[in-house]
Amino acid sequence: MSIWVDADACPTVIRDILVRAADRCGIAVVLVANRALNVPRSRFVRQQLVAAGFDAADKEIVRQAERGDLVVTADIPLAAEAIEKQAEVISPRGECFTPDNIRERLAMRDLLDTLRGSGLASGGPPPLSATDRQQFANALDRYLARRQAAG
């Protein structure tokens, strides 16, 4: 079991939570990015660099993720592909993407993308809050507890 992180867009505070969890639980965390990151030292955490290019990190995560792995991403299309491979997906804000909610999330993403393209909507998500960080940590802990119980 591994945790795959879409690290180019992952906030540092979320990476830090993942590193602490990796050390505590002895689980492999792979930070996939197209640029070098400042990664805390841990024998359970590694960085995988991919070539620069549109969705290169996403494609690599989808290629390697397996059933039961966890993917950490805010990228809805990547989340959908990971779910198709039976991986679990959590956003850096602690939202769990599932087979039951991913189609709705894709439709909403497409709608917002269209609205932004037409000038009717602007901006992105608000900055990560303390509540978001706590929700992520809680979702991660639930995932780790399920994996540990499964043996």
* Residues 122-150 pLDDT 10s: 666 788 999 999 999 999 999 999 988 88
HEC profile for 25-68?
A: HCCEEEEEECCCCCCCCCCCEEEEECCCCCCHHHHHHHHHCCCC
Listed in sequence order, the residues at least 6 apart from 130 whose beta carbon sits closer than 8 Å to its beta carbon are: none
* Residues 22-47 pLDDT 10s: 999 999 999 999 999 988 889 999 99
**Joined tokens for residue 27:** 């689980």
Q: What is the pLDDT of residue 121?
A: 67
Q: What is the pLDDT of residue 130?
A: 96
Q: What is the pLDDT of residue 43?
A: 95
* Residues 51-97 pLDDT 10s: 988 889 999 999 999 999 999 999 999 999 999 999 999 999 999 99
Give the start-end residues of each E strand in the chain. Answer: 2-6, 28-33, 45-49, 70-72, 88-90, 96-97
How far from the centroid of its chain's Cα atoms is residue 18's Cα? 11
Of residues 8 and 65, more confidently modeled:
65
